[in-house]
């Protein structure tokens, strides 16, 4: 059985599609695509069916990463369908936790930057929506480190399966 990972932010157009695309590239790099499955979603339904924000797409393009993701909202089924739900910030985490307890979810919940070796007390990937390209670059760097960390964790779990 594949390990299923869902990345979640608010709108599912800036951070979580970036996280998902960076993670997907690393999963392929390590040849783990037959063992791990992934997607992303938003806690809000503002951008259902939309392509990622053009600034997310630009940063990804600069690193030769592509994505075909379209925005979707976190569902009550997700909190049991996915083994891991990875929140970008504390507000996302609390929103996911609410759905999780209402629907007796079985997923494990984490903040993405719990896996970032450079994170200090602040373990959020900050919302870049009202920011500049510099903020999107920062999100990319945080995603890159957190994704490597998350994959190291999953590799350990896969060894025991």
What mask of x and - would describe binding to ligand 4NP in positions 124 to 153, judged by CB under 6 A? ---x-x------------------------
Q: Residue 3 pairs with which residues in a beta bridge?
A: 36
C-beta closer to ligand 4NP: residue 12 or 26? 12
59 binds ligand 4NP (CB under 6 A): no
Q: Which stretch binds ligand 4NP (CB under 6 A): 7-15, 76-84, 94-102, 149-157?
A: 7-15
Q: Which residues are catalytic?
A: 9, 15, 127
Give the three-state DSSP class for 82. Answer: coil
Give the three-state DSSP class for 15. Answer: helix
Sheet containing 108-111: order of strands: 36-42, 3-9, 84-87, 108-111
The one among 14, 96, 99, 154 contacting ligand 4NP by CB under 6 A: 14
How many CA within 13 A on the CB side of residue 57? 10
46 binds ligand 4NP (CB under 6 A): yes
**Angle ∠(128,15,103) on CA atoms, nearest 5:** 120
Which residues in this chain contact ligand 4NP in the complex, by CB under 6 A? 9-15, 46, 127, 129
């Amino acid at each position: 059985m594949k390990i299923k990972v869902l990345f979640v932010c608010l709108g599912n157009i800036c951070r979580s599609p970036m996280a998902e695309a960076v993670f997907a590239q690393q999963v392929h790099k390590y040849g783990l695509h037959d063992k791990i499955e992934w997607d992303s979603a938003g806690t809000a339904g503002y951008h259902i069916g939309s392509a990622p924000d053009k600034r997310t797409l630009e940063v990804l393009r600069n690193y030769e990463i592509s994505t075909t993701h379209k925005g979707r909202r976190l569902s009550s089924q997700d909190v049991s369908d996915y083994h891991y739900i990875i929140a970008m910030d504390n507000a996302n985490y609390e929103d996911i936790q609410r759905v999780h307890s209402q629907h007796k979810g079985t997923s494990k919940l984490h903040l993405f930057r719990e896996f970032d070796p450079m994170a200090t007390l602040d373990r959020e990937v900050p919302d870049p929506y009202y920011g500049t390209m510099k903020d999107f670059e920062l999100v990319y760097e945080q995603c890159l480190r957190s994704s490597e960390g998350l994959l190291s964790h999953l590799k350990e779990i896969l060894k025991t399966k």
